[in-house]
Every structure is written in C-alpha cells, then in structure tokens.
C-alpha cells in the first residue's frame, strides 16, 4: 500500500472515530439536558377545590415557584365551602374549605388517615366606610380606636337589627347622604358560603346569651333574628370576594362582612390606595375562619403539610393576609406597619365557638326561610 493510500485510510479511520465520538457526545448532552430539565422542573399535579378567598394565594407566581421547588403543581377550582361536600370529589387530591365544620364533613369521605390540616386562619371583620363607622360609634354600636380601625359591639348591633333600625334613626347619619334604609351587614349566602355561616354562628352565640346552639330548641330561640339578618340583604353572593370588591369600588352596602386576610393582603402588597376610606371593625364577638385542608390522597396530605410547615410558604401565606397557625410572631412582624388597620393581637375580642355542621346547616336553612 502506498503512502497516499495509507494516509487516506488513516484519515477515514480518524474521521469515523471522530464521528462516533461526536455523535456519542451529542447523545450524552441531550440525555443530560433532559435529565437536568426533569430534575429541576418536573412536578406532580395536585388537584383540589378551594374557597375563593385562597385563589390569589395559589395563583401567586412566588407560591407556584415555591411549590414547584417541592415537586408540586396545584390545580384548584373554587367553590363555596359549604357546597364542597356536594361536589363529585373523585379525581381530587384535596378539598380546602374555609373552616373546620365543612372540613369535618368532607373528612368523613376521605380514605386518607391522619385527619385534616389547618395551615392558617383569618378572623371575620366588618369593613365600613369612615362616615358609617363614625355614625355607628356616635350611637354606641361601635368604638373607634383610630382613623381606620375599631370594634363593632355585637349585642347593641343585634338589638338594632331586631328593632329594624334605619340609618335615619341614628344621630349624625343625615350628614351622609349614602346612609339610608335599614342598618345591616352584607354577608355571603350562609347555605353555601363559610363566612355567611360563621356570621350566623357568632350572632346566634351573642343573641342566646353566650350559648352555643346545640339542638332544635336553641335554633328556634334565635331563628327570627337570624332570618332578619339574612333576608334584609336580598340576593346574596356565594363568595366573599365579590362583596368586598364591590365595597372597594364604592358600590353596595356601607357595611360588609369579610375576612381580615382580604384587607391585610392589600396592605402587605402595597395596595393601600385601593382601601380608600375603609375602616376595619372587629366584632367584639367573632369567629375565626380556620382554613382547613382535607387530604383526599397522599399528594393532598403532602400539600397540606408543606403549607403548614414550610417557612417560605408560611411567609407567602402571611403576604396574602393569613395568620399562620401556631406562630403569631410571623403575622405581627409582617403587619407592623399597618396597625392603624390591623388588630395584631385581637385585643379584647371574644371567639365564639362554632356549632356542629348539622346545627349550622339547619340555622342557615331557617335564616333563608
């Protein structure tokens, strides 16, 4: 074989070897890239149904990212808390109503052991425009502790409701043209919505001398008053988000029952300008809404445990106005600059025990007539 033929043969061999190495290198790069991508972004989808007041939390890009870092992608639908047990829950990993009573009913349908988890909570408050809050204070129905906060005195308020008092019968209301008609608090539909049902629980507790309704006789004692509280409102929403947004935009009733978290969320996300002349009135007897996650699968339990224990997710819950269970310091520190609206320690506020789900449902049905 001549020199030229040998050289050509060597070049062919070298070319083949390089080609093999190149192809092998590209193949390794593709597999590594895919493996790397799968490791960093692959998540398991967890499906559930939630109360609407938690929708912004779960769609927050930072929450999405924090959950993805733990291997989860949450796909959630919204529903009234008291309507969740009527949904076909097959295919869901969790249900996340806004209080313990509907969660207890849902838990009976869950095959997952260990019970529900309560990552965070929020007390119910009444938001009022400043003029309305001042009139209530001037007439003994409220006490203002600052320009943007105070307490609603539940017993006098319920007496006013029982007597069908109007704004025109309250001293000083004539200076506010928007204050007309019966004095009432707008709430959500107690048959379908958690905040509306808890409103009845607190009102019943106060009206019945500090007793928790436990039977038909107790329901009978307060049914006429509860019916007034609900029927004066006319058509009701099934979500607390809609009446709160109406209030913020300046339409609707001057007194609206909402979650403290809805106000705190705007404050901590630097949207205080949206609040306008809003005053937060903490009922002196209220009910805290324990947002309670019911795991329906192991993946649902993992989500509940992460929301309860992961430091980053707890901080993000606070950013959305929720109070994490078992750590008041987190919420207090985050709201330190907003104490003109937020009563961080819930000073002097009595928590009314909540009746069983069966009793509360009966109350709600009676109130709707």
Each residue's pLDDT tens digit, 247-257: 998 888 999 99
pLDDT for res 4: 42
pLDDT for res 284: 97
With a pLDDT cut of 70, the percent of the chain lying above it is 89
Each residue's pLDDT tens digit, 242-293: 899 999 988 889 999 999 999 999 998 877 777 889 999 999 999 989 999 9
Query: Which H helix or E strand runs over 286?
Result: strand 285-286
Helical spans, DSSP H, in the chain: 3-41, 55-59, 61-69, 100-107, 130-138, 154-162, 194-207, 216-231, 241-248, 260-268, 298-309, 311-319, 328-334, 357-367
Sequence ranges of the domains in the chain: 44-121+291-338, 123-289+340-367
pLDDT band at 44 (very low <50, low <70, confident <90, very high): very high
With a pLDDT cut of 90, the percent of the chain lying above it is 69
pLDDT for res 20: 35
Each residue's pLDDT tens digit, 180-222: 999 999 999 999 888 999 999 999 999 999 999 999 999 999 9
Higher pLDDT, 41 or 272: 272
Arithmetic mean of pLDDT, 49-70: 95
Rounded to the nearest integer, the mean pLDDT of the chain is: 87
Neighbours of 302 (CB within 10 A): 18
pLDDT band at 88 (very low <50, low <70, confident <90, very high): confident
| CATH T-level fold of 44-121+291-338 | D-Maltodextrin-Binding Protein; domain 2 (3.40.190)
Distance in angstroms (rounded) separating the CA atoms of residues 83 and 191: 8
Over 60: is that where the pLDDT of 34 sits? no
Name which of 174, 147, 136, 94 is nearest 284 in CA terms. 136
Name which of 205, 362, 346, 217 is nearest 288 in CA terms. 346
Class level of CATH domain 123-289+340-367: alpha beta
Arithmetic mean of pLDDT, 118-127: 96
pLDDT for res 41: 57
Domain 44-121+291-338 shares a fold with domain 123-289+340-367 = yes
Each residue's pLDDT tens digit, 155-181: 999 999 999 999 999 999 999 999 999
141 and 152 Cβ atoms separated by less than 8 Å: yes
Arithmetic mean of pLDDT, 106-131: 93
Q: Which of 17-21, 238-242, 269-273 has the lowest mean pLDDT?
A: 17-21
* DSSP notation for 240-268: SHHHHHHHHTT-S-SEEEEEHHHHHHHHH
| Residues paired with residue 117 on neighbouring β-strands, in sequence order | 293
> What three-state secondary structure class fits 167?
helix
Task: Tell me which range, 32-46, 104-118, 310-324, is most confidently predicted by mean pLDDT.
Answer: 310-324
């Amino acid at each position: 074989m001549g020199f030229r033929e040998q050289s050509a043969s060597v070049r062919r061999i070298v070319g083949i070897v390089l080609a093999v190495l190149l192809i092998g290198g590209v193949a390794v790069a593709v597999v590594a890239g895919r493996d790397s991508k799968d490791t960093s972004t692959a998540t398991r989808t967890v499906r559930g149904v939630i109360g609407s007041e938690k929708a912004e939390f779960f769609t927050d890009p930072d929450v999405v990212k924090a959950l993805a870092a733990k291997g989860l992608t949450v796909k959630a639908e919204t529903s009234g808390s008291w309507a969740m047990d009527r949904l076909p829950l097959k295919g869901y990993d969790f249900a996340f109503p806004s209080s313990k009573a509907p969660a207890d009913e849902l838990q009976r349908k869950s095959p997952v052991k260990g019970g529900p988890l309560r990552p965070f909570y929020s007390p119910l408050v009444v938001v009022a425009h400043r003029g309305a809050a001042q009139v209530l204070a001037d007439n003994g129905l409220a006490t203002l502790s600052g320009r943007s906060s105070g307490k609603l005195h539940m017993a006098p308020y319920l007496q006013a409701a029982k007597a069908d008092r109007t704004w025109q019968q309250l001293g000083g209301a004539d200076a506010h043209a928007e204050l007309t008609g019966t004095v009432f608090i707008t709430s959500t539909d107690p048959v379908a919505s958690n905040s509306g049902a808890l409103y009845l629980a607190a009102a019943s507790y106060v009206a019945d001398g500090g007793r928790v309704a436990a039977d038909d006789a107790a329901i009978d004692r307060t049914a006429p008053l509860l019916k007034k509280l609900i029927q004066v409102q006319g058509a009701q929403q099934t979500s607390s988000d809609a009446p709160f947004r109406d209030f913020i935009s300046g339409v609707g009733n001057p007194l609206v029952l909402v979650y403290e978290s809805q106000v705190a969320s705007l404050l901590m996300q630097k949207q205080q300008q949206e609040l306008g002349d809003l005053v937060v009135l903490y009922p002196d007897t209220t009910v805290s809404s324990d947002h309670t996650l019911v795991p329906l699968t192991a993946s649902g339990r993992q989500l509940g445990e992460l929301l309860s224990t992961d430091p980053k997710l707890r901080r993000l819950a606070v950013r959305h106005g929720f109070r994490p269970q078992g750590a008041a310091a987190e919420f207090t520190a985050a709201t330190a600059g907003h104490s003109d609206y937020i009563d961080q320690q819930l000073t002097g506020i009595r928590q009314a025990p909540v009746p069983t789900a069966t009793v509360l449902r009966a109350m709600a049905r009676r109130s709707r007539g």
